[in-house]
Every structure is written in structure tokens, then in C-alpha cells.
A and B are shown apart, each in its own frame.
Chain A
Amino acid sequence: MVFYILRRLLFLPLALFGVSLLVFTMIGFLSPYQRLATFINNPERLKGENVDKLISQYGLDDPIFIQYLRWLKNVFRGNLGWSYVGKGPVFEVILERFPYTLELTIFSVIPIIFLGISLGVISALHHNRVVDHALRIFAVVGWSFPDFVFGLMVLMVFYSALGWFPPGNLSIWAETVVKSPVFRHITGMLTFDALLNGRLDIFWDALRHLLGPIFTLTYVELAFILRITRSSMLEVLQRDYVRTARAKGLSEKVVINKHARRNALIPVATVSGQTVVGLLAGTVIVETIFNRTGLGSFMALAAQQLDYASIMGGTLFFGLILILGNLCVDVSYAFIDPRVRLE
């Protein structure tokens, strides 16, 4: 299996190279004027000679392969360029923002997967009865709800009306503490750092700011897992070995938990992996509504403004996450399903 992982990892730089070339070429189809939008966001600044000066200053009119080589050369020197959207070196900006995305992912993935699986199992066990129908409607509504609508509802109810889940990362008082020199930044994730610093009040505050996004994401993403679990469970429950287990006189609890559910979880693992990777790539809408400073809102802005250094840096980063994420999912099969051998 180690050999398998190593082989997969060897492909990583190749894949990233391919992706970067593809994206860069696509950017290359845009005219220098379009790409100038990164540098000038206001028509008042479009004095004739300024525009051409800026284009040559940033080399936007060079042939695309020269621009690509220039970018590649800098990447090998560890310089991903300057992000005009993030107002800093691309690498720094990504590192600064990723912990926020990771934190939200960690906290949302737990309810999404556990609630999704358990509700899915419950649904399957009550096949075509009231509980099943109710859960299915619940899931379909969540799945078809656009996240911006649900996010706004959460914001209106739980913040405007009740004052529970404020947007942003922290309250003003907590931010003052976090930015003071006594507060040590270890993971970059506010909740974990607060615990490591022994500041329960700040942990509480950071978590309170996370709850709105978690709640929104859980409801919107949960349905997917729920439905896969349900159908997979239904299928497994028809299998001969489940009937055999029952015929052996095993208790229903053992049949469900040990024989049926474990086998039903194989497709769920794939889907969960995708969900995690998707969440890690940032959730634009939720981050925007709740004013979280993660990667999603950053990449959306970068794409809108054609900030190519940010786009390229983000692409590499997401490519990396996607490849590693899929690798983890593949490896996890070996543990869940003994029939799978990775070679």
C-alpha cells in the first residue's frame, strides 16, 4: 500500500503542472485590457497613456508562453506572485486564509457526516413509513434550498432577531486579545488556538461566530449523505448475508450495526470525501454572508477581477487538496472494505 501511495504522490507534480498550464492558457485568451481589470477597478483612472504604461509595466502584452515561463520561474523560486485581491503575496494570503476554511470544514463535517449517516440509516429502516417520508422531505428541501437563501434566513433569525450567531470571526473584545502579543498563534484556527492558550472565553466567542455557517452548511450538505446512506442501506438490507444473519438469530441491533451498516458505508465514504474536499475548497456564499475570511470568498473575488496570480496560486492549492483528498478516500477503502487491495 505504501508503494501505491508513493506512486500516486509521484503523479502529483505532473498533475499540478498540467492544471496550471491549462488555466494559464485560458487566461491567455483574454486581452491585455481585460486583464488590466485587476489593476484598475475604476474608469476614472483610465487616462489614455496610463493604460498602456500599466500593460507594459506588468508585461501583459507579452506572448502567453513567455508570461507562463515567467510565472513558472517564480514558482520554482517559491514566489507565487502578488495577489491584488488579497493584498499580499499569494502564498501568504492562502496560508492566512486556509485555517479559517479548514476550521469551518472540521466543525461542519462532523454534523454533516454523522447526522447524514444516522438519519440515512433511520430513514432506510423505516422504509416508506412516516419517518422515512418526513426525513426525505427534510433532505430534499435542504438539498434544493439555495445556500444563499438559507444562509440569509439563518442570519436573519439567529442574528438579527435572536442575536445568537454574529457574522465575522470574533467579537471586537476577543479580537483585541487575539491580536495582542500574549496570544500565541499555533494552528491559525481561532477555536483551537483559544483552547491551546487556555482561553475558554475566546473559544466560546469564536465558536459562536462559527455556528451560523456550520448550521447553514450542515442543513444544505447533509441531504446528500443522507440520501446515499439511505439507498445504500436499503440495498444492503436486501442482501442474502443480512437475511442469513437474521436467520442465525442475531439480534436486530447486531444485524443492522455490524452486518448491514458497515457494508452500506462504502459508497458513503466516497461521497463524504468529496464533501470534505468541496468544503476545503471554500464555500463562497456562506463565507460571504457570514463574513468569514476563508479561501472561497477570496477565490471568487480573484476570479471576478481576473487576478491571475491569485487564480493560479489558488488553482495549485485546490489541485493539491483535491488530489490528496481523493488519495485519502481511496486509501480509506482498504480499511472499510477488506476486498479492496491497493497495489
Chain B
Amino acid sequence: MKTGFSVFLAVFVTIGASWCGLVLAPALQLGGAKQETILNGTDTYPLQPTGAATLGLQVYRANACAACHTEQACQTGVVCEISLTGLGVYQPADFKAFVRSLFVLPELASYTNAIGASINNWSGELPKPILITADKKIATEMADRLKAVGVKSEMNILATGPDIARGWGIRQSVAADYLYAQPVQLGSLRAGPDLSNIGVRVPDAGLLLKHLFAPGSVTKDSTMPAFRHLFEVRKIGSAPSPDALNLTGKFAPPTGYEVVPTTDAKYLAAYLQSLKANAPLVEAPFTP
């Protein structure tokens, strides 16, 4: 590095390379993304959000909700689940005996305890998941053996991982989920729960609004700050507002008063309701 030009060249080449790799290449790969077709279906995903949801995203941005909430569920893997849907000629007791007879198979060796426990106290209700495995070959083999004796079963694909177990998502978030988000706010801290699927988890706008006004009224021990500035506490006029929040106990407003959400609050609730990452896609398959 004898001259200024050599430093310039070194910087130009290195930053240029990373610019091509991490700015240009993703923009070319994903910048022209369109709606996808749902796996094994004809519907497209994601749907264009409603006007209220689009405006609500701006309320989400202005109040920096993404500082505490992520919008990305993760999964650690997928498993195949064999679920019985019809026993054919078998009675539950005979079927149990048949399944136990399969325990000698070497490939099922590591599943015998789980299967045994799941069918021991089972009295025949359907559908009944009997085998959960990360190995698709074993699941197919099991399904074939059940089919051979006339027992009906189906194979479900399920995502796994702590986020899925917490109910934060049905599958992991993928690029397609953010097609219409502007700006995309993925978040990097989970001081609050993940919201990528809140529209499926809490479909009720009233409950979402109540949570925004007084988090403690919906979730005990919530550490979320209240967003009271998105609401108006006012005297009840000639008739109570149909939008008024249904608050009880220590969260209720003084008698003669009601808590009414502002338009911003309604937009925000509409946005939260629109967050539904619930479609199986080729890059994130699951059986709905």
C-alpha cells in the first residue's frame, strides 16, 4: 500500500464484491418475486393485504413495535406423522396386537416405546397419530404395512422447533411471507412474542385492541407497555360506542366513561390480524 490509489483499489474491489453479492444478487433473485401457488393447491399466497392492514403497518413502524417483537418464526426441522383414519376390519384391540407384532422390525426399534405408549390407553377414536419420525423412509414403510392389512392412514408433514411448539408459527417464515410488507420489519429482539402468525393465533380484533390498551387485562404478567395513546377515554354520549372496549375490573374506565380505539389503533389491529403465515409452500411444506 504505497499509494492512495492502491488503497482506493483495494476498497473498491472488496466493497464492490460484497455489494454485488449481498445487494445486487438478492435484489435480482428476490426483487421480482411474485405471489406463489400454495403447495398441493391452486390458491395464491400471500394475499394482497387490505387497506386497513396496509395503513396499520405504518402504525407498527411509527411506534417501532419491531423493537420488541420479531416477525419471523423459525423451525428446526420437519417430521412425518402417520395418523390412522380408518381401522378397516380390525377392532382396536386386534389392531394394537398387530402393531405390537411390528415391534420386532429393526427399523422401528427406536420408536417402539413411543408407539407403545401412544396406543396403550387408546380406545379407538380416530384420527389417531401413531408414529412421529424425522425419517421419511420409516414413515413410508409403516404406511405401506398398514395399507397392506387394510388399515387407512395418512402421512402428515409437521414443522418442529421451539417456536412451533410455542404456537408462534405453523411453519418457519420464508421470504414469500413479506412480499407486501413495506417496510419489512423482521425485528431482532424477542422481548415480546413473535408476531409472524398472530392473525391465526388471535383472530379477534377486540382482544388485540384490549391487549394494546391494557396488556395485563389479556395476558397476566405481561411486560408490554400499554399503548394508551392509541385510545380515547371519553364520556359515554347518548349511546355507548359500538367500538368501545370490553374492559373489566381494575382496567375498566370510570363509570360513565368508555375506551374507544382511534383509527390508528384499528389499523394496527387490522395489520396484526393480517399476519398469517399459514399456507404450505414448496420451500416450507407442512400438512394443514
A and B, one complex?
Answer: no
